[in-house]
Amino acid sequence: MTEHVFEPMRRAMVASQLRTTGVNDPRVVAAMGEVPRERFVPADRLALAYADAVVPVAPGRALNPPMAVGRLLTEARLGGDERALVIGAATGYSAAVLARLVASVVALEEDDELAAFAKKALVGSGVELVRGPLARGHAKGGPYDFILIDGAVEIVPPAIVEQIADGGEIALAILDEGVSRLAIGRVVAGAFGTTIFADAETASLPGFAKPRGFSF
C-alpha cells in the first residue's frame, strides 16, 4: 500500500470518526489529519490503520481508536507550551500527534519490541522515547504540564500523580467494571481529581490494576 492509498483513508477518518464525535479542536484535527497513522501499525495490520477500532500491535497491547485519542486531546485544551509525557507509547502514534500540539514530548514504553518499533516510527518527530515500567512514569523528565496515559487503567499510581505539575492535567481512560470511560484529571494545590466525559472503546494497559482484597 502506498501513501496515495492511505491519504483518502486519513481524510475519511477525520470526516467520519473525528468531526462527528466531538473532536472539534482545529489543532487536534489538523495534527491527526497530518500524522501518517499507517507508519505506526505493523505491516500485517496496515489495512486496519484507520479503522474505528482497537488495533492490536503486540500481545496484550493495541493502538486506541482515533476517536478516543482525539477526544482526550480535545478535552485537554492544550495551549501549545506544555511539557508532556505519554505513558504507554506503544508504536508511538499518540506521541507523534501530541508532538504537534505541545512544546515537548517524552514517550514512555516498557515493551522492548514496541519501543524499537516506535523509535523508528518517531524519527523526525521531536519525541524523546524512554524505556521503563509504565506504572512508574518517568520522574526524571518531570514535572509535566500534561500527561497522556494512552490506554485504559483501573488506577493512577501516586508516583504518576506526583509527576504532574501544579495546575497540570492528565488525560486517560478509566476502566470501570469492564467499561472504558474517557476522563481528564487535574492537580490543584496538591489535590488530584478526575472528571469523566465520555465512554469509548480503548485498549487496557498492563500494570494499572486495582489491588485485589484477600478472600477466604
Q: Which CATH architecture has domain 3-199?
A: 3-Layer(aba) Sandwich (3.40)
At residue 197, what are phi and psi to the nearest 5 degrees?
-125, -10
- Cα separations (Å) of 55 from 37, 74, 138, 149? 11, 21, 26, 17
| Calpha distance 165→11 (Å, rounded) | 36
Question: How many CB atoms sit inside 10 A of residue 51's CB?
Answer: 17
CA dihedral angle for residue 78, residue 104, residue 36, residue 10, rounded to 10 degrees: 0
At residue 214, does pLDDT exceed 80?
no
Gap between the Cα atoms of 141 and 37, Å rounded: 26
pLDDT for 186: 96
- Percentage of the residues of the chain whose pLDDT score is greater than 90: 89
- pLDDT one-digit tens code per residue, 121-159: 999 999 999 999 999 999 999 999 999 999 999 999 999
What ranges in the chain are assigned the alpha helix state H? 3-13, 26-34, 66-76, 93-98, 112-121, 158-161
**pLDDT value at 1 more than 80:** no
Is residue 216 very low, low, confident or very high in pLDDT (cuts 50, 70, 90)? very low
| C-alpha cell, 109 | 514504553
Give 70's contacts (C-beta < 8 A, 6+ positions apart).
Answer: 17, 18, 21, 23, 28, 29, 32
Rounded to an integer, the average pLDDT of 37-42 is: 96
pLDDT digits (tens, 9 = 90+) for 99-128: 999 999 999 999 999 999 999 999 999 999
What distance in Å separates the CA atoms of residue 104 and residue 83, rounded to the nearest whole number?
5
Whether residue 215 is predicted with pLDDT greater than 80 in this model: the reply is no
Write phi, then psi, for 51 (nearest 5 degrees): -70, 150
Q: What pLDDT is attached to residue 135?
A: 97
The reported pTM is 0.94
Cell numbers linked to 161 = 500523580
Task: For residues 114 and 193, give the distance between their C-alpha atoms in angstroms, rounded to a whole number.
Answer: 31
